[in-house]
Chains A and B, each alone.
Chain A
Amino acid sequence: MPEFQNILTELKKDIIELAKLTFKNYKNEAETDVREFLTNSEEKLKRWTQLLAKKELTQEEFATLTKGLKDSAEMKLLKQAGLTKIRLDEFKGSLINLINDTVFNFL
């Protein structure tokens, strides 16, 4: 019985490590993506406003470009939602391997 407890404890520790590693990396990636989007949007707005002031862009073109920022934000959120699902599927795959390895190591 103590061996059973040891293996379960080991398995639990490995699963927690796996979860931490998988989702910590993903969290960092998602944060970077959001930060990049905000910085880029600010730069774009500045540039478009300057182009509008110099009459290199028309009002209509400027309006379409700014509407595009909303489209861009939506697409990035959808991309992140998709990436979360991919991470969860990958996590499930790693979990199966981990349990498999534990079972076969034990044998």
Chain B
Amino acid sequence: MLRIQKHYLRNYSFLLKPLLLLLLIISSCSPLIASYNEHVYRELTSLKVETNALIGKATNDYTNPETEIEQLDKDLQKLHEYIKGLPKNAETTKMMDIMINGDGRWEGIKKVWKSSGKLSKAATGEFQAEIAEGFNDMLQLESRKIK
């Protein structure tokens, strides 16, 4: 250590202690929210595209793409479980839950598609926009998380 540094440390150590203590207290507080997760971001982007593509097929009979619907359900559930397992991730977990089970999101769209047999062209367009908006909200939150 340089002589000049020793001099300052000796003379101003009374100030250093409270500041370092303050620094230690603030640093020891754990973050309030999970950090950015690339896997989550990538999967959300991919599921946004897949869900919208599938809704695009809703002008056809529900039974036609039933296997694809089952696969998408599985993929959505897998990501939901992964997100749920990340610590301090309550907001994203709840958003994913709404996206899957919401009356006006995927579950609601599936129900009306199944009960009607097929959806009108106008409805598929509107549902696609709604689903895209929901995924965009999730992507925006994920991308703003600290990297």
Q: Report whether A90 and B146 are in contact in the complex, using a CB–CB cutoff of 8 Å.
A: yes
> Any chain A CB within 8 A of the CB of B81?
no
CB contacts (< 8 Å) of A60 on chain B: these are: 112, 115-116
Contact of A48 among B119, B126, B133 (CB under 8 A): B126
CB contacts (< 8 Å) of A72 on chain B: these are: 104, 130, 133-134
CB contacts (< 8 Å) of A76 on chain B: these are: 137
Counting chain A CB atoms within 10 Å of each CB, which of B5, B20, B29, B137 scores highest? B137
Q: Report whether B33 and A89 are in contact in the complex, using a CB–CB cutoff of 8 Å.
A: yes
CB contacts (< 8 Å) of B137 on chain A: these are: 75-76, 79
> Any chain B CB within 8 A of the CB of A18?
no
A contact residues vs B (CB 8 Å cutoff): 3-4, 7, 11, 44, 47-48, 51, 56-58, 60-61, 64-72, 74-76, 78-79, 81-83, 85-86, 88-90, 92-93, 95-96, 99-100, 102-103, 106-107
Contact of A65 among B94, B126, B145 (CB under 8 A): B126
CB contacts (< 8 Å) of B103 on chain A: these are: 64, 67-68, 70-71
Q: How far is the CA of A68 from the CA of B127 in the complex (A)?
A: 9
Q: Report whether B105 and A83 are in contact in the complex, using a CB–CB cutoff of 8 Å.
A: no
Q: Report whether B91 and A82 are in contact in the complex, using a CB–CB cutoff of 8 Å.
A: yes
Known contacts A65-B104, A68-B108, A96-B23; A107/B9 CB under 8 A: yes
Known contacts A60-B115, A95-B26, A99-B19; A86/B144 CB under 8 A: yes
Looking at the assembled complex, report how far the CB atom of B24 sits from the nearest CB atom of chain A, in whole angstroms: 10
Known contacts A89-B33, A103-B19, A106-B15; A65/B130 CB under 8 A: yes
Q: How far is the CA of A103 from the CA of B9 in the complex (A)?
A: 11
CB contacts (< 8 Å) of A106 on chain B: these are: 8, 12, 15-16
Q: How far is the CA of A56 from the CA of B125 in the complex (A)?
A: 11
Contact of A4 among B14, B133, B145 (CB under 8 A): B14
> Any chain A CB within 8 A of the CB of B53?
no
Q: How far is the CA of A97 from the CA of B39 in the complex (A)?
A: 29
* 14 pairs, A vs B, C-beta closer than 8 Å: A4-B14, A61-B112, A64-B108, A68-B108, A71-B102, A72-B133, A78-B91, A82-B145, A83-B144, A92-B31, A95-B26, A96-B26, A100-B23, A103-B19
Interface 1/0s, chain B 8-46, versus A by CB < 8 A? Answer: 110010111001101100110101110000000000000
Q: Report whether B95 and A78 are in contact in the complex, using a CB–CB cutoff of 8 Å.
A: yes
CB contacts (< 8 Å) of A11 on chain B: these are: 19
